[in-house]
Amino acid sequence: MPNLSGKILFFILILLSSSTSFSQNLTGVVKGENENKKEPLEDAVVKWINTGKGTATDEKGKFEISAEGITDRRIIVSITGYKRDTLTVSDISFIEIVLIQDASTETIEVEDEQSSTFISDDVAKTEVITSQELVKDACCDLSGCFGKNSSVEVAVTDIITDSKELKILGLEGVYTQILIDNMPMMNGLNVKYGVSSIPGTMIDRITISKGSNSVIQGYESISGIMNVLLKNYDNTDGFLFNGFVNSMLEKQVNMNMTNELNKNINTILTLHSAQKSNRVDENNDGFLDNPLITRYTLFNKWNFVNEKSRSEINVAGRYWNEERSGGQNSYDINTGEGSNLIYGQTAKINSLDGYFRYAKAIDETRGIKLYLNANYYDQNSFYGITKYDAVQNNFVAMGFYEFEVFGEFLLKTGLSYKYLDINENISYSDTTYKTYSGNYLKKESIPGIFAEKSINILDEKATLMTGVRLDYHNDYGMIFTPRILLRYQPENEIVFRVSAGTGFRTVNLFSDNSNLLASSRNIIIAEELNPEKIFNYGADVLYYFAFGNFAGSLNLDFYRTEFSNKIIPDYDTDPSEVIFANLNGTAFSNVFQSEANINLTRGFDVKLAYKMIDLQYERDGVFYQQPFNSAHRFFSSFSYTNEYWSISSGLQWFGVQQIPSTASNPFRYQRPEQSESYAMVNLQFNKFFDYFELYAGIENILDFKQDFPIISADDPFGPYFDTSFIWGPTKGREFYFGFRLSLD
């Protein structure tokens, strides 16, 4: 590998590239007609006939293409699943284009539209879950949006407060970079409960990109990037009211309202509230099966468009207030916090965040974008007698200039800055043998510079994207992050992708492992914990097929992630402790996934998937399987939709998992060193009316529950109490009912 000065010189040479400019432009929007509805088409290709000049539509179906030097005023518009169209645009400057579905490939795109999930044409493998798919599950919040997705696993990290993480490539959720409207608004401490704070009715679509991705979003995308795109005026109803209640009588209410002040200014206001369920203890262990949650969220987004200057501004803000309490059945948050007589856990959250986004198109091939976002997060918690208070301030700025170089490739160059300030304070309300109390401070100030190039090769059948960024961490110095991605489509029916790149992450020990705060184990930090460093590479093949009335796609992918350092909790050296230290060796993950999507007939879709995950780490020359990981998983779903009703169901099967040893515990507090295999089955029915929709469903139909998930539940202040041994569902069968009222 070249030395640092060589890297910097190479980086500067990339940034010194120049571009040419254009002045005359054609703008427009491309839509697709499906079941008498017109929807914007993203990534549709618009090209001047008999030239190499072209562009792709954005997420709103909009495009802009230079007309300078063009004598043949015909454009070709194409996207997989729709009939290619050639249009004469004469002297007009704006055009709306509506594409009709292609009967020969209707099967594939009909499946995509009706199941509302598909793989985009991006260089990185990117799965898209649209709002039409989200309504096929309860999807009360972001963590509930993946019941029919095989790439994302939702795992409970804390039994008592029911906090969750979103895992990609089998790795812990802290390695998934979560973006909100393309910006890193979930970062550090606010991720743990943040994935449950965004209501499903607020989400327009979710994109999931595995493995190495664009360098523009920073150096922290390790297992992949999840981009949650929120609704705005252009992609939601004028008014939406949603109500939900489940069999434990947890209630949720959501409301979206939009307003267009004029053709240049519009806004959306979203209100969300969740209210406490009943107290339920089905397994009779003396602890509530679900926490009592009260949550309020207010979100407001404004869009300002200036067509004359070809610029757009987006401004958004959110306030989030939440209180969670769980523990023994008689625990009362108002009187029992910190008690050594009745065990309870609480989390009180106040958070304020927002973003500013500016985009300006200079011409067809040149543009400027500026992203700013900030977050304030305040959490006050008790885990029994352990008091945990934390405050986080976070600010991220990023701007880049994109332009075409010599008419051959697209180059994006820019600057970024990240500021993160975390103050964690741990204390005890009673005497204890635990020794990790204290004030833990973390402050990061990281300026960065990056460049990314995209070029079409092999007669435009392939796209190669290379990127590099250089960041300076105030504690760890230079961070060099190279990435390379290739997409190759030799025929319409098959697409190949490969990717490789590095990642870097600093740990947030207590928020990453917050369930250990509830454990009787003492937390030992054996040494200064260094950043986690990885190298990830993978390959993917996507094949579209059609046989008579049947059509669909087959997708195979494999990704390997190698850690040169990984912070893994050591449960086994001392049964009364959990030890954190830098990895003495290596760690890796191998993930293989196969998935088939089949459209059997119009409206009837089936998905089948299998995933193999091999997670291992080395300690003192010996390799171990990482605990709480199912090596083999199977997934299936089906859905049927027509204009009057829909029904959908999903099944997930998880193989056995390795569990840390409890052999040193008394016999009644011991657990097997392997979990059971188990299956989760969900079902939902939707009934459609003109402006109204009813839905009802069942989760965990088979009523499978992990036996005695809390160790020493009868003695929560004793030496063996532990809530971290979570390998399966801890709640049984759940019924729910809801409605949606939508008005234009």
CATH code of 91's domain: 2.60.40.1120
Which residues neighbour 339 within 8 Å (Cβ) at sequence distance 6 or greater?
385, 429
pLDDT at residue 29 greater than cutoff 70: yes
If asked whether residues 77 and 163 sit together in one domain, one would say no
CA 744 – CA 239 distance, rounded (Å): 7
Predicted local distance difference test score (pLDDT) of residue 17 = 36
Residue 436 above 90 pLDDT?
yes
pLDDT of res. 116: 66
Give the least confident one: 513-517, 681-685, 702-706. 513-517
Tell me what pLDDT residue 426 has. 96
Could you tell me if 190 and 283 lie in one domain? Answer: yes
DSSP 531: P
- Say how many CA atoms lie within 13 Å of 435 toward its Cβ: 9
- Which value, to the nearest 10 degrees, does the dihedral of the CA atoms of residues 458, 462, 464, 465 take? 150
Res. 610: pLDDT tops 70:
yes
Query: Is residue 563 predicted with pLDDT exceeding 50?
Result: yes
Q: What's the helix, strand, coil split of the chain in %, to 5?
A: 10, 55, 35
pLDDT at 538 over 90: yes
Question: Residue 626 has what DSSP assignment?
Answer: P
Burial (CB < 10 A; 0-12, 13-18, 19+), residue 626, is buried
Prediction pTM value: 0.85
Whether residue 149 sits in one domain with residue 98: no
Mean pLDDT, residues 590-602: 91
**pLDDT for the residue numbered 24:** 58
How far lies 548's CA from each of 12, 112, 118, 123, in Å?
55, 18, 21, 30
Residue 133 belongs to a domain: no
Give 55's strand partners: 46
* pLDDT over 90 (residue 243): yes
Listed residues 48, 72, 102: the one ending a domain: 102
Task: Tell me the C-alpha distance between 244 and 422, whole Å.
Answer: 35
DSSP of 244-307: EEETT--EEEEEEEEEEEETTEEEEEEEEEEE------TT-SSB-SS-EEEEEEEEEEEEEEET
- SS3 state at 380: strand
- Sequential DSSP letters for 112-140: HHHHTEEE-SSSS-EEEEEHHHHTTS---
- Structurally, the chain folds into a number of domains equal to 2
One-letter amino acid of 391: V
**Whole-number percent of the chain with pLDDT over 70:** 92
Of the residues 44, 79, 102, which one is the last residue of a structural domain? 102
Residue 97 and residue 146 in one domain: no
Q: Which of 64-78, 441-455, 545-559 has the least mean pLDDT?
A: 64-78
| Residue 87 sits in the same domain as residue 188 | no
Assign 100 a pLDDT band (cuts: 50, 70, 90). confident
Of the candidates 132, 146, 112, 122, which has an alpha carbon nearest to the alpha carbon of residue 59? Answer: 122
Q: Does 19 have pLDDT greater than 90?
A: no
Closest CA to 99 of 139, 61, 136: 61
Check: CB of residue 619 under 8 Å from CB of residue 627: no
Q: What is the mean pLDDT of residues 594-615?
A: 92
The tokens of 339 are what?
Answer: 């008690």
Give 519's pLDDT tier (boundaries 50, 70, 90).
confident
| Whether residues 234 and 92 fall in one domain | no
Residue 42 pLDDT greater than 90, yes or no:
no
Cβ(610)–Cβ(634) below 8 Å: yes
User: Does residue 272 register a pLDDT over 90?
Assistant: yes
Residue 10 has pLDDT above 50, yes or no: no
The pLDDT score that the predictor gives to residue 84 is 75
Terminus-to-terminus CA distance in the chain, angstroms? Answer: 58
Within a domain: residue 151? Answer: yes
8 Å CB contact between 594 and 555: yes
Task: Extract the tokens encoding 530.
Answer: 């260094």
Tokens of 423: 């103050």
Q: How far is CA 519 from the centre of its chain?
A: 29
Domain finish residue from 102, 124, 150: 102
Grade residue 50 by pLDDT with cuts at 50, 70 and 90. Answer: low
Span of 105-119, 158-172, 421-435 with lowest mean pLDDT: 105-119
| pLDDT score for 68 | 65
> Of 46-55, 229-238, 499-508, where does mean pLDDT reach its minimum?
46-55
The contacts of residue 372 (CB under 8 Å, 6+ apart) are 355, 356, 357, 395, 396, 397, 398
User: How many whole angstroms from its chain centre is CA 201?
Assistant: 16
Whether residue 152 sits in one domain with residue 78: no
Q: What is the mean pLDDT of residues 617-646?
A: 91
The answer to whether position 122 is within a domain reads no
Phi, psi of 429 (to 5 degrees): -90, 0
Within a domain: residue 684?
A: yes
Asked if 722 and 158 touch (Cβ cutoff 8 Å), the reply is no
- For residue 113, being part of any structural domain is answered with no
> Is the residue at 130 inside a domain?
no
Residue 121 lies in a domain: no
In this structure, the answer to whether residues 97 and 172 fall within a common structural domain is: no
pLDDT of residue 103 exceeding 70: no
Q: Which CATH number does the domain housing residue 288 bear?
A: 2.40.170.20
Dihedral sign, CA of 410, 232, 184, 132?
negative
- What is the model's pLDDT at position 405? 84
Look at residue 673 and tell me whether its pLDDT is greater than 50: yes
What's the CA angle centered on 742, arms 739 and 744, to 5 degrees?
A: 175
pLDDT-derived band at 321, boundaries 50, 70, 90: very high
Section 172-192 average pLDDT: 92
Cα separation, 417 vs 617, in Å, equals 33
- Domain assignment of residue 38, given as a range: 4-102
Q: What is the pLDDT of residues 445-492, one digit of tens each?
A: 999 999 999 998 998 889 999 999 999 999 999 999 999 999 999 998
Does 628 lie in the same domain as 552? yes
What is the pLDDT, as a whole number, of residue 1? 42
pLDDT tops 60 at residue 16: no
Q: Are residues 584 and 702 in the same domain?
A: yes
Q: pLDDT grade, residue 221 (50/70/90)? A: confident
CA–CA separation, 83 and 88 (whole Å): 16
| Banded pLDDT at 263 (limits 50, 70, 90) | confident
How much is the pLDDT for 381? 95
DSSP secondary structure letter of residue 217: G
Q: Is the pLDDT of residue 210 over 50?
A: yes
Tally Cβ neighbours within 10 Å of residue 383.
25
Instruction: Report the chain's mean pLDDT, rounded to a whole number.
Output: 88
- 65-69, 411-415, 654-658, 671-675: least confident range: 65-69
Say if residue 306 is in the same domain as residue 177.
yes
pLDDT score recorded for residue 52: 54
Assigned domain for 189 exists: yes
228 and 363 housed in the same domain: yes
Best CA proximity match to 213, nearest among 8, 496, 503, 460: 503
